[in-house]
């Protein structure tokens, strides 16, 4: 199979990347749901999701780099639907659940940015061997960001 025969099924390279990203995100989201504990507490669910993402950055750095840092798919981050980036959508849903259970002074958007940025940043540090994974650190940081008293 030639590159041309592969690309002809898509409008552009960016269209191909968006399609692959949506598919990868859906698969990762399904895997994350399967590996997450059946815990009812949305904070624990968020910690489980963060742990899953961090482990994937360590195990599959190229895949996660493509999924999270590909300039061709930035518009997927900006849609507010459930069909564009399921892993992102799952995180948004957990933030909503957390805000319903734990009082916070942050808006949903602000809390999402804090959580998403920390998970990505921590994952990158671990991936690059600049830090070791520590679930206690992840848990304590999540609690601090949300404002949960220990």
pLDDT in tens, 94-113: 999 999 999 888 999 999 99
Q: Which of 119, 92, 120, 108 is nearest to 146 (CA)?
A: 108
Give the DSSP letter of residue 72.
G
- Domains of the chain are 11-146 (1.10.357.10)
Q: Kindly report, residue by residue over 43-60, the tens digit of the pLDDT.
A: 999 999 999 999 999 999
- pLDDT recorded at residue 4: 63
| CA 102/CA 34 separation, integer angstroms | 25
Q: What is the pTM (predicted TM-score) of this model? A: 0.83
């Amino acid at each position: 199979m030639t590159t041309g025969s592969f690309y002809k099924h898509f409008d552009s390279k960016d269209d191909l990347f968006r399609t692959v990203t949506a598919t990868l995100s859906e698969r990762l989201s399904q895997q994350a749901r399967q590996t997450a504990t059946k815990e009812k507490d949305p904070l624990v669910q968020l910690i489980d999701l963060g742990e899953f993402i961090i482990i994937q950055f360590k195990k599959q750095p190229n895949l996660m780099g493509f999924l999270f840092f590909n300039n061709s798919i930035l518009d997927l981050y900006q849609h507010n639907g459930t069909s564009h980036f399921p892993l992102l959508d799952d995180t948004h849903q957990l933030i909503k659940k957390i805000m319903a259970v734990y009082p916070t002074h942050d808006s949903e958007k602000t809390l999402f940015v804090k959580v998403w940025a920390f998970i990505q940043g921590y994952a990158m540090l671990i991936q690059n061997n600049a830090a070791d994974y520590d679930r206690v650190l992840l848990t304590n940081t999540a609690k601090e960001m949300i404002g949960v008293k220990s």
